[in-house]
């Protein structure tokens, strides 16, 4: 019995020792790190993969490596405009046809070309066909150098043509020649009516009634 009791005590002691060691060194099992997403998972995720070189939101094509789109009017301006104008002037025919061809060419010309064309248009356009030139002159985006040529020309036109054109230029918002046109009106009509366009129109009507062309 004594041996059995000693044996039992040894067994119990070993069990206690094992339990104590287990509490001192608990085994920690950590979850394995998640596997990297496969290509299929990446394609099926919330955002689709961008093709190589594609521009993201707010990124220009130049930054993304793609060539930038050319403006719609790229190549519009002529580089051989002197020859183009010369060919038109050298052709035989009615001046009105030359004028029409120059007007068709006009938007494609650089500023220097437009100035030269304006000189020729001033000589070719008759009073009856002056409306296209008036449209160019009253356009606030027309170059000031072109305006200077056309203003000089319109001053040599009949009063029934030049006075309405000068009034239109004077009252066009942001027109660079508005003040000059207003000064010319004042000299021609011997009046100073400020920006009261109704009074200017009445003054023009009265002048043309008493001074017909």
pLDDT digits over 135-155, tens only?
999 999 999 999 999 999 999
Contact between 137 and 150 (Cβ < 8 Å): yes
| Of the candidate ranges 30-39, 57-66, 82-91, 147-156, the one whose mean pLDDT is the lowest | 57-66
Dihedral pair phi/psi, residue 62, rounded to 5°:
-65, -40
- pLDDT higher than 90, residue 171: yes
Which pLDDT does position 78 carry in this prediction? Answer: 75
Taken in order 118, 101, 93, 138, is the CA torsion positive or negative? negative
Which pLDDT does position 80 carry in this prediction? Answer: 87
Mean pLDDT, the chain, integer: 77
| Of the candidate ranges 25-39, 64-78, 119-133, the one whose mean pLDDT is the lowest | 64-78
Give the whole-angstrom CA distance, residue 35 versus residue 202.
88
> In the numeric block, which tokens belong to residue 158?
């009949």
At residue 135, the 3 state secondary structure works out as: helix
């Amino acid at each position: 019995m004594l041996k059995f009791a000693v044996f039992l005590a040894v067994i119990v002691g070993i069990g206690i020792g094992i339990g104590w060691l287990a509490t001192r060194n608990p085994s920690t099992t950590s979850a394995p790190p998640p596997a990297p997403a496969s290509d299929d998972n990446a394609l099926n995720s919330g955002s689709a993969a961008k093709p190589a070189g594609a521009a993201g939101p707010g990124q220009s094509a130049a930054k993304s490596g793609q060539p930038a789109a050319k403006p719609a009017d790229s190549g519009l301006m002529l580089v051989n405009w002197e020859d183009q104008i010369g060919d038109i002037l050298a052709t035989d025919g009615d001046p009105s046809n030359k004028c029409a061809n120059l007007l068709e060419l006009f938007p494609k010309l650089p500023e220097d070309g437009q100035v030269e064309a304006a000189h020729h248009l001033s000589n070719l356009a008759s009073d009856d066909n002056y409306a296209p030139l008036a449209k160019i002159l009253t356009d606030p985006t027309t170059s000031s150098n072109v305006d200077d040529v056309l203003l000089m020309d319109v001053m040599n036109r009949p009063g029934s043509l030049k006075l309405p054109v000068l009034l239109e230029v004077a009252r066009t918002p942001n027109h660079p020649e508005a003040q000059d046109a207003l000064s010319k009106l004042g000299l021609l009509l011997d009046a100073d009516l400020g920006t009261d366009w109704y009074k200017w129109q009445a003054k023009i009507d009265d002048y043309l009634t008493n001074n017909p062309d």
